[in-house]
Structure 1
Amino acid sequence: MLVELTVTEQRYRAVLEVEAGVPVTEVAERFGVSRQAVHRWLGWYRDEGLAGLADRSHRPHAHPAQTPPEVEAAICELRRNHPRWGQRRLHYELGRNGCPGPIPSVSTIYRVLVRHSLVDALPRRRRREDYRRWERSAPMELWQMDIVGGVLLADGTEAKVVTGVDDHSRFCVIATVVARATGRAVCLALVAALRAYGIPEEILTDNGKQFTGRFTRPRPGEVLFERICRENGIVARNTKPRSPTTTGKVERFHQTLQRELLDATPVWPDLASVQAAIDTFRHEYNTNRPHQSLDMAFPADRFTPRPDQAPLPLRLPSSLAAPQLDPTPPTTPLRSTAPLVMAANGLEPVNLAVEAERVVPASGNLGVGGQQFWLGPARAGQTITLWADTTVVHLIVDGVRLKTVPSRLTTAHLRQLLVDGARPAGPPPLPTGALRPGAPIEVDRLVNATGLIGLAGRQHPVGYHFAGRRVTVRLAGALMQITTDGQLLRSLPNPLTSTDMARIRDARPAGPAPQPPSDPLRVQRRINCRGALVVAGQRIHVGIRHAGATVTVEAADTTFRIHDGDRLITEVARTTTKPIARFKVRKPEPPRRGS
């Protein structure tokens, strides 16, 4: 019966034969090993006995390239103190803050982390060199902008953060916390960055409704963000739908912001505390945090702002332009104060009226005592005098009444205004009571989707291009004027009789006559195959060489001027008095089947 011998037993027999006097060469040949192996077995047997003949590891006792224990301890301590740091960041910090020994390579640090169970060993991915990274060659060539949520406040609402990153340097140019990510809030954050760092050449965003109106239904249009870019020479670029990797740099900034700041505080007290924390994080991110994609350089080292090198000054819509506030309030002559009439209880006045000065904000929407008064962005920065009681509010500029609206202010609101610096009011600028027969009146109306407004129980057309706008209708004699913010938009014949005008609800005495528009009315027309177009019922022959082109027609009082882009094609006398009812080019009809 054959029995397999172990390695230890075979070595023991070889040692016994040598000890019995058999030559080492003959023993080595019989067991199929070298003479040196037999001598090594003899030495192990003499030193350790039979246990020394057992198989042992070939691992060396020491190696000159082995990582020193103190370096391994420093790596593990940094990792435990900063669980988000990877091997590249640890390599950088060891060289930055001093290492107790030679600085190991990135791969060595990774193996140390795996050996101490500080990271999970993962299968090797594609090398970074295999990916093709794109970036602009210089700062201020391209900004990437986006909006990120996940900021929970103590009142139960969720705030948003408007972010922007320079493509070349990864420098964070925008990090603004907003309660709601409206188009106006996004534009205000952009304007602050433009004033601080200058105007970039391009801005890349996704297709959010704050950034583009090309997907707006029922008809695409230009949003405020696109208008700011267009007026300042910035190319507004949008990604393909459902392609977040195109704006990967700002998305990566979101990940860093979420991991290193927002996750540490699940609920924030208010917007101010969030903004203060993000400002601190942003400064650290730009100036003291190495970026791996920049070979561990700081973003601030590669970013160069140019706020004073723009060829043209920053152009902003009036709704976003900062109003220039006059530090000295205008002197308004005080009128004699009417004596207060007290109620039956002798405590509350029944005819309390106050006057107060307020500055119109940039939005044009003035709020006083919980009631809002729309004045328009064109009046941003102006000082308005309010004459208010519990029934009516008059808005006055330089002694001229702009509008009169019903008051929703209570006696408590009026008393609070007196505490805040208002003064008891004199007589009202307009007498109370019924409107004078035959006097001009005005009323505010919202134009519906078909271009109609309601007056005296009937619908009257004013133009579908005003759809959705709130306008002021001024009725004076035989003329009906459509105005907004004191600017004349359109004049039409007055379709109402004096009896109808007396039935209009919310009517008030008209203010000063509106200013005529500074620019002529512009409409679009497509030249037909015969080289002609029709405006307000007048046929104008332009030339068959322009057939199919879309042109712009400037309608003045006596002439029509036809422009193809910036080039004037022709100018003809206006022979019609019909109003213009169509302002945009009609869409081409779809081809019929079989044609």
Structure 2
Amino acid sequence: MVLAVVEGGLTVAEAARKFAVSKRWLRVLLARYRAHGIEALAPRSRAPKTSPTRVDDTVRAAIVALRDELTVEGLDAGAESIHARLEVAGTTPPSRATIHRILTTADRVIPEPHKRPRSSWIRFESPVPNDTWQSDMTHWQLAGDAPIEIITWLDDHSRMIMHLSAHEVVTAPIVVSTFTTAAERHGLPASTLTDNGRIYTTRHATGTPGLGQFEQLIADLGITQKNGHPYHPQTQGKIERFHQTLKKWLRARPAATTLSELQTQLDAFTKVYNHDRPHRALGRRTPAQAWHALPPAAPTITIAGRHHRIRFDTIDASGVITVRFAGHLRHLGIGRAHKHRPVMVLIAGPNTIIIDRETSEILAEHTINTDKDYQPKNTKGPS
């Protein structure tokens, strides 16, 4: 176009008509040519000279590095997780969509088929901690392909791991012992949710009259037992998803060679999952933060017409257990002769009954005096 005017003798109007461009644009090109020669007519970038909203290169590098670090650790490494961790580190992060674009540009995102929108999901969540515990076992292998089974107890409200342990085979007695171990540390749940495996229930077993060990235990404690529909694992969706997260984390580490080594890995994972890893479904809180945010539920049983809350505990070396009553910790004296005994504590208002979990013997009763921290046991016989 320029040469048609400069060398071909066309006027600006004639050249504009010939090449179907505006006269204004042709005059711009002529001015560039006269000032800088033919090279000045090369196409120029349309990018703005400044981009105030562009993410700083340091932040972009930090996002990609964090993605790689979380991936190596076997942890969730999506835009949500990176956004939350940058906030915890004191960095003002860009939006989650921007983080995703940065990861895509850096070839850190593998395209996936379109999934169901989250708006179509139906969530079931217990309203408070300890309202429901989910449990299930999953399979794993040690180095050398030795088969192992891992049992989990997970709080439905907070997703907090209440117990996680590895065994050669998970049996009904192991279900009972892991449940009571978790209850000693976190209190008893008001209900449980499991599948229909015989380690949890005998209701679908043929030739097995009566209740199984776990069923009998929670029935005695006033705990509601809930079981999923057969062949419908979505009922225990939280714990199924949890096992995916656990196995991803384990695969990112050298395979354990012994049961003890695997348990050490599970203990480390429990700490990371409960206390260090923000959870999207919990508003980017950790499970431990969500569990401690609300008062936990507890089962109740009726004795002599009174409703008693139940908790598990172990008597300490000085013959005392500690409970919270009226906003303060109360130390209940039971006696050094019973130190280290596992007990069940029944609480109805200010009255307590302490029962040996193994012998069912009543060890002590108390009437809590809110003016004192230490509570001697009642001197009268059992009421």
Structure 2 length as normaliser, TM-score?
0.71
1:180 to 153, 166, 169: 169
1:90 aligns with 2:78: no
Deviation at 1:267, TM superposition (A): 2.9
Question: Could you report, residue by residue, the CA deviation over 1:283-306 in whole angstroms, capped at 9, with x for unpaired residues?
Answer: 222122211111210111121475
Match of 1:36 in 2: 24
Hey, what's the Cα distance between the residues in 2 that align with 1:380 and 1:274? 35
Larger radius of gyration: 1
Match of 1:115 in 2: 105
> Quick one: which amino acid aligns to residue 97 of structure 1?
A
Match of 1:261 in 2: 250
SS at match of 1:229: helix
Match of 2:267 in 1: 279
Hey, what's the Cα distance between the residues in 1 that align with 2:358 and 2:20? 103
Deviation at 1:14, TM superposition (A): 4.4
Match of 1:486 in 2: none
Equivalent residue runs for 1:128-527 within 5 Å: 128-152=118-142, 157-218=146-207, 221-261=210-250, 263-271=252-260, 273-304=261-292, 306=296, 312=308
> Quick one: which amino acid aligns to residue 299 of structure 1?
P
Query: In the alignment, is the contact (CA less than 8 A) between 1:151 and 1:268 conserved in 2?
Result: no
Match of 1:125 in 2: 115
Hey, what's the Cα distance between the residues in 1 that align with 2:38 and 2:101? 38
> Quick one: which amino acid aligns to residue 207 of structure 1?
N
Hey, what's the Cα distance between the residues in 2 that align with 1:66 and 1:301? 34
SS at match of 2:37: helix
Change (3 A) 1:308 1:199: closer
Aligned residues: 311
Change (3 A) 1:47 1:66: farther
Match of 2:56 in 1: 68
Change (3 A) 1:125 1:62: farther
Query: In the alignment, is the contact (CA less than 8 A) between 1:198 and 1:309 conserved in 2?
Result: no
Equivalent residue runs for 1:54-65 within 5 Å: 54-65=42-53
SS at match of 1:264: coil
SS at match of 2:189: coil
Query: In the alignment, is the contact (CA less than 8 A) between 1:231 and 1:315 conserved in 2?
Result: no
Query: In the alignment, is the contact (CA less than 8 A) between 1:140 and 1:166 conserved in 2?
Result: yes
CA RMSD of aligned residues (A): 3.4
Match of 1:430 in 2: none
Hey, what's the Cα distance between the residues in 2 that align with 1:379 and 1:302? 36
Query: In the alignment, is the contact (CA less than 8 A) between 1:197 and 1:307 conserved in 2?
Result: no
Change (3 A) 1:11 1:201: farther
Change (3 A) 1:27 1:46: same
Which gives a bigger RCO, structure 1 or 2 (Cα 8 Å, sep 6+)?
A: 2
Query: In the alignment, is the contact (CA less than 8 A) between 1:153 and 1:159 conserved in 2?
Result: no
Hey, what's the Cα distance between the residues in 2 that align with 1:194 and 1:80? 38
Deviation at 1:177, TM superposition (A): 2.2
Match of 2:4 in 1: 13
Deviation at 1:26, TM superposition (A): 4.7
Hey, what's the Cα distance between the residues in 1 that align with 2:297 and 2:190? 13
Hey, what's the Cα distance between the residues in 2 that align with 1:153 and 1:28? 77
1:53 aligns with 2:41: yes
Question: Could you report, residue by residue, the CA deviation over 1:515-549 in whole angstroms, capped at 9, with x for unpaired residues?
Answer: xxxxxxxxxxxxxxxxxxxxxxxxxxxxxxxxxxx
Query: In the alignment, is the contact (CA less than 8 A) between 1:207 and 1:239 conserved in 2?
Result: yes
Hey, what's the Cα distance between the residues in 2 that align with 1:141 and 1:149? 27
Change (3 A) 1:12 1:71: farther
Change (3 A) 1:52 1:234: same
Question: Could you report, residue by residue, the CA deviation over 1:340-395 in whole angstroms, capped at 9, with x for unpaired residues?
Answer: xxxxxxxxxxxxxxxxxxxxxx9xxxxxxxxxxxxxx99999xxxxxxxxxxxxxx
Query: In the alignment, is the contact (CA less than 8 A) between 1:212 and 1:223 conserved in 2?
Result: yes
> Quick one: which amino acid aligns to residue 123 of structure 2?
R
SS at match of 2:200: coil
Hey, what's the Cα distance between the residues in 2 that align with 1:158 and 1:312? 43
Change (3 A) 1:157 1:27: closer
Query: In the alignment, is the contact (CA less than 8 A) between 1:203 and 1:236 conserved in 2?
Result: yes
Hey, what's the Cα distance between the residues in 2 that align with 1:60 and 1:180? 65
SS at match of 1:160: strand
Query: In the alignment, is the contact (CA less than 8 A) between 1:145 and 1:204 conserved in 2?
Result: yes
Hey, what's the Cα distance between the residues in 2 that align with 1:306 and 1:125? 35
Deviation at 1:152, TM superposition (A): 1.6
SS at match of 1:301: helix
SS at match of 1:82: helix
> Quick one: which amino acid aligns to residue 147 of structure 2?
E
Query: In the alignment, is the contact (CA less than 8 A) between 1:194 and 1:307 conserved in 2?
Result: no
Change (3 A) 1:59 1:175: same
Change (3 A) 1:285 1:220: same
Match of 1:404 in 2: none
Match of 2:379 in 1: none
Change (3 A) 1:308 1:43: same
Structure 1 length as normaliser, TM-score?
0.47
Query: In the alignment, is the contact (CA less than 8 A) between 2:189 and 2:297 conserved in 1?
Result: no
Hey, what's the Cα distance between the residues in 1 that align with 2:140 and 2:184? 28
Q: Which of the pair is proportionally richer in helix?
A: 2
Change (3 A) 1:47 1:229: farther
Hey, what's the Cα distance between the residues in 2 that align with 1:282 and 1:274? 12
Query: In the alignment, is the contact (CA less than 8 A) between 2:130 and 2:190 conserved in 1?
Result: yes
Change (3 A) 1:61 1:296: same
Query: In the alignment, is the contact (CA less than 8 A) between 2:141 and 2:148 conserved in 1?
Result: yes
> Quick one: which amino acid aligns to residue 139 of structure 1?
P
SS at match of 2:148: strand
> Quick one: which amino acid aligns to residue 93 of structure 2?
I
Hey, what's the Cα distance between the residues in 1 that align with 2:308 and 2:146? 41
Query: In the alignment, is the contact (CA less than 8 A) between 1:15 and 1:38 conserved in 2?
Result: no
Deviation at 1:268, TM superposition (A): 2.7
